[in-house]
């Protein structure tokens, strides 16, 4: 079943409740949209599990259908809000990589606080759910969002920015990224590793 419904929305999940085997690496994509990236990654990496988080029902259904059509057992999608999922729901020290790809940019100055990377609860949650050595990967077409992220992470000593050269590893282009590339937009990318004892 590719649709994941938490047994309880009001307590931290246990790793085994998501895919069954907590020993397998878990990657999470926030705002997974139509599931292009999630399904591409899960198909290429059968030894890892992939959980997509998405709040729009139509996109959740589309992702779920794609997972089922591809016959993947290592991908699931959950309908929930990203900030809540990171701050409260995902298990502590459980995630090897968390992907945030072409997030809604919230371009108006008065909405800047809505950008996930500007939220203390999100950064605290990220530090909680990533395994030591785990990574947060961001791609955005929005220069201001990118700069906000760089500034925000620079204030957190537990995260260390890593190089991310083009084609460093398999990383499918997302639906929105293809769209922006077709329109000549630059995609900014950055990657941070959690360093904690
Ligand atoms: C611009 S789209 C990008 C979709 C996909 N990542 C891509 O690159 O094709 C942003 C996605 O994030 C979802 N989203 C935005 N805010 C969210 C939130 N707070 N919680 C969960 N999903 C969210 C939207 O519904 C949308 O599908």
Predicted local confidence at residue 109, as pLDDT:
85
Give residue 94's Cα distance to chain centre.
Answer: 13
Distance 32 CA to ligand 1 centre (A): 6
Distance, CA of 137 to CA of 101 (rounded, Å): 8
Sign of the four-CA dihedral 117, 107, 29, 182 = negative
- Quick check: CB of 81 below 6 Å from ligand 1? yes
Distance, CA of 157 to CA of 161 (rounded, Å): 10
Domains in the chain with CATH codes? 15-194 (3.40.50.150)
- Quick check: CB of 55 below 6 Å from ligand 1? yes
pLDDT tens for each residue of 138-184 = 999 999 999 999 999 999 999 999 999 989 999 999 999 999 999 99
pLDDT tens for each residue of 50-84 = 999 999 999 999 999 999 999 999 999 999 999 99
Distance, CA of 153 to CA of 143 (rounded, Å): 16
Share of the chain above pLDDT 70, in %: 99
Contact 29, 176 (CB under 8 A): no
Distance 131 CA to ligand 1 centre (A): 24
Predicted local confidence at residue 112, as pLDDT:
85
Predicted local confidence at residue 137, as pLDDT:
98
Distance 74 CA to ligand 1 centre (A): 21
Q: Which of 34, 68, 104, 175 is catalytic?
A: 104
Tokens encoding 107? 């371009």
Does residue 197 have a pLDDT over 60? no
Q: What is the DSSP letter of 3?
A: B
124 is catalytic: no
Does residue 1 have a pLDDT over 90? no
Predicted local confidence at residue 128, as pLDDT:
98
Contact 148, 118 (CB under 8 A): yes
Sign of the four-CA dihedral 66, 68, 69, 71 = positive
Does residue 96 have a pLDDT over 90? yes
Predicted local confidence at residue 43, as pLDDT:
98
């Amino acid at each position: 079943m590719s649709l994941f419904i938490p047994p309880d929305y009001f307590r931290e999940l246990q790793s085994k409740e998501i895919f069954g085997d907590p020993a397998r690496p878990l990657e999470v994509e926030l705002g997974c949209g139509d599931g292009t990236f999630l399904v591409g990654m899960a198909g290429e990496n059968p030894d890892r599990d992939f959980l997509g988080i998405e709040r729009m029902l139509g996109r959740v259904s589309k992702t779920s259908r794609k997972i089922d059509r591809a016959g993947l057992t290592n991908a699931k999608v959950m309908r929930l809000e990203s900030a809540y999922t990171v701050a409260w729901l995902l298990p502590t020290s459980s995630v090897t990589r968390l992907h945030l790809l072409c997030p809604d940019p919230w371009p108006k100055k008065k909405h800047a606080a809505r950008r996930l990377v500007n939220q203390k609860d999100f950064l605290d949650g990220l530090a909680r759910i990533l395994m030591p050595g785990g990574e947060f990967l961001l791609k955005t077409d929005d220069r201001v969002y990118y700069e906000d992220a760089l500034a925000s992470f620079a204030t957190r000593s537990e995260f260390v920015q890593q190089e991310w050269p083009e084609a460093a590893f398999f990383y499918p282009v997302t639906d929105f990224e293809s769209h922006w590339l077709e329109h000549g937009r630059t995609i900014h990318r950055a990657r941070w590793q959690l360093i904690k004892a």
